[in-house]
Amino acid sequence: MMQPALKQDPSFGLDVQVFMDVIACGDAARRTSLALQIAAFLGEPSATAGEREQVLPAARRLAADESSEVRHAFAEALSGLQQLDADLFFTVVSDEEDIALPFLSVTPALDALRMLAVLRAGGEARQAVIAARPGLAPEVIDVITRELPLTVNALLLENPDCRLGPQHFRTLYQRFGAEPDMLELLLAHPGLPPVIRIVQARRAATSIRTLLSERAWLSSSQAAELVVDAEENAMLDVLSGASRHELPAAVAFLIDNELLTPALIVHAACQGAMHVVAECLAGLSGLPPRRVEEQMYQPGRFRALHARCGLPQSCYWTLQAACDVAAEENEEGLRHSIEEFGARIIETLLTRYEALPLSEQPRQLGFLGRYGAETTRHLASRLRAGLERAA
């Protein structure tokens, strides 16, 4: 095996002619041996920039060797180098896929600028490898989400190390939201902004409404109620699952698009999602969340907040009862289940408020019969029926 060496006097640099002789006259085994030695030399910390420059012509020749075995061995040896000459790098990347793709998947010499060059000039296979790599720069993710095909973006969504921002998700939803497989990936991603989930819930509700209308499976009133409930359930799930940083933007979106209804707020209250109720009331009232919570949970202060939010009087007592139950939870350090919370609202409505007319109780129970958890719905419906018969 040939062992090229430095001359004794470093000022003369490397004797590179022997490299060229091996490349010109040596067989594949000798060229492979030379390629491995050059790769090791390029990764040697003690090698100077001038010495590396001297071996680059030979390295570039080997990267384009006629033998795929030589090129494969050289690419594998180069794949661990932190720094790599641009011409040498792109020679390897432009090779056959069985050589280029393994190199591209692991090389640390692939910075953001090189990634962008490969994304724009390479084919889908190379784009896919980059989409699956860790540590993608924001500008790389920008290009992938804006310009590249669905298959590449699917890999991006499945990349656990990739940090997508809200705009990336919006772009993907706008481009691929009608594709079932991509939509499934988007909805399964924990980083998908709540606003997009709300938009998708409305689209799904519209599709259900159209289907029910075409098939005439239900009366128009039954179909309308079913769709509204499904849409509200989906939106409430989104709001309940949003982080404290995401929730204000989601509520603001509902308000800006006139989607935040009293029914949705009552629905949240009946489910015990009082943090959602508080954020909705903060958005409607224009008050800071802390002041809203004070007015929700301190005795005698909720009525003014309810009026300031412009909510109808018909839902006042159910919201007041939910606030009172939540305030007691806070005082006692308890956290009721959804069923327990709903049962406590019913108990509060029926036993606590002298100002609540008996004639109004069935309507308030009707809210819980529609929006509460399953056990709560059954209990509220039975009690409502009993009150209406007694009347």
The structure tokens listed for 1 are 């095996």
Tens-place pLDDT, residues 57-78 = 999 999 999 999 999 999 999 9
Q: Which secondary structure element, helix H or strand E, spans residue 248, and what is its range?
A: helix 247-256
Tens-place pLDDT, residues 353-366 = 999 999 999 999 99
In the chain, domain spans = 10-159, 190-260, 269-274+281-391
Tens-place pLDDT, residues 293-305 = 999 999 999 999 9
Could you give the CA distance from residue 326 to residue 203 in angstroms, rounded to a whole number? 33
Tens-place pLDDT, residues 253-281 = 999 999 999 999 999 999 999 999 999 99
Could you give the CA distance from residue 44 to residue 27 in angstroms, rounded to a whole number? 26
Could you give the CA distance from residue 175 to residue 316 in angstroms, rounded to a whole number? 43
- Cα distance between the two ends of the chain: 105
The structure tokens listed for 180 are 């079932």
Instruction: Name the DSSP class of 375.
Output: H
Angle between helices 316-332 and 361-371 (to 10 degrees): 70
Q: What is the mean pLDDT of the chain?
A: 91
The structure tokens listed for 27 are 């067989």
* Token pair 């406590």 in the structure block, residue: 344
- 155-178 average pLDDT score: 96
Q: Which residues of 30-65 are buried (b: 16+ CB within 10 A; e: fewer)?
A: bbbbbbbbbbebbbeeebeeebbebbeebbebbbeb
Task: Number of helices (H) and strands (E) in the chain: give both, helices first.
Answer: 23, 0
Question: pLDDT at position 153, please?
Answer: 97
Closest CA to 136 of 158, 121, 115, 167: 115
